[in-house]
Amino acid sequence: MKLIQSFFILLATILIVHGTASSVSAEIILGQSCALSGPTSFLGTQMNKGAQAYFDNYAEDIMLKVADDQYEPDRCIKNTQTFIQEKVTALFGYVGTPTSKVAVPLATQNKMIYFGAFTGAGFLSDHKTNPYTFSLRASYDAEIENMVRRLKEDLNITKIGLFVQRDAFGLAGVQGAVKAVNKITGVSIIPPVPDIPADDAPAKTWKAFWRMVPNYKRNTIAVGRDARKLSGNRVEAVILVGAYRPCATAINLWHKLNFDAVFINISFVGSLGLAEHCKSVKNVYISQVTPSPWDTTIPVVKEYQTALGGNYGFVSLEGYIAAKVFHKALNNAGTPLNANTLKASLEAMSAYNAGGLTISYSTSDHRGLASTYLTKLEKQGEGYKFIYVDRLTQE
């Protein structure tokens, strides 16, 4: 009998440490809403995988509680409200602009830290409107300006098309592209972008706007109609602001139509997912906001590879770095640990060396990184590889 009792005591201990009851032993609980199912699930699962790898290896007192939102704002609201009711320590590592767009106001209203979302939308670093929100990655504006500048300076491309997701994410891309062409002379968007409606514009105004900007509906791969608009429109390059499956579907169609342009994707696309779904990688580029996940000369990348153990990628690396930076902020926050002490800790984080990567925040700057990179997608045997490039070339 004593042997049986000992067995069940041991079993209970294992469940508390490793199973569903881990919240019992966790001192800090973070809430993460992201897509774990549906067409965008690759992004959510990879972001979670990278962050969890860090916490498992270096912060066992932190529990990362994840909830599936399928990349849909309504589901994200419910998940976030649940996290708030459960009084989690902070909201961490959400995935997407449309989901963050509805979650950030809830975080602000409840004075809860919202950290390290997988999106470069500008509102994430708006410290005046959203004082408890912090972004890790470079902004979409910075990514798109770099794309436009390289297209013009390297290839003398002057006519650029946009292909975007029909929501807050796509709109952020359109706004970034308009800002970029206004800065860089000799470049125009084809077809011309109409005046962007104000947030409080009537629905019919928004419908008219989306009819004029080539786009697709979130969480679908029905992209043919608007993709064809670009292929016959004298466009020399296309900037894609979307997720991997619809973007790959559009690129495959363009190649089939012999649309000879440069296709350059924003970092959110999910590079590995895009590569797996592209039948041809001719003139396909992807913007990145992290160094190469395979470059072990960078200490944080080597550390990430050791923790992950295999199947490396850009999204999981970003999740890993976000977890490491947030752990540093938690350690520096002192006691009592709450949103205000965490906020102060993050804002005091100046030039933190995360392992060959420097992250800086301040009271007036809630964006930790500013660097953007360009990678070219190339075939390698039966697989593919990502080549970091300083200049664009066209086949």
**Domain range annotation of the chain:** 2-138+297-359, 140-288+373-389
Helix (H) or strand (E) holding 146: helix 140-155
Report d(CA 311, CA 46) in Å as an integer: 10
Q: Which CATH superfamily is domain 2-138+297-359 in?
A: Response regulator (3.40.50.2300)
- Packing angle of the helix pair 41-58, 314-333 (nearest 10 deg): 40
Please tell me whether residue 68 adopts helix, strand or coil conformation.
strand
Residue 26 is predicted with a pLDDT of 53
CB 357 within 8 A of CB 298: yes
CA distance 21 to 214: 47
CATH superfamily of 140-288+373-389: Response regulator (3.40.50.2300)
pLDDT of residue 100: 98
Rounded distance between C-alpha atoms, residue 256 and residue 24, angstroms: 55
Give yes or no for a contact between 102 and 169, defined as CB atoms under 8 angstroms apart.
no
Ramachandran area for residue 264 (φ above 0: left; ψ -120 to 50: alpha; else beta): beta
- List, run by run, the mean pLDDT of 10-residue segments along the chain (395 residues): 41 37 60 96 97 96 97 98 97 98 98 98 94 97 97 97 96 96 96 92 94 94 94 91 96 96 96 94 97 97 97 97 98 94 97 96 96 94 91 94
- On the question of a common fold for 2-138+297-359 and 140-288+373-389, the answer reads yes
DSSP 346: H
116, 33 contact by CB (below 8 A) = no
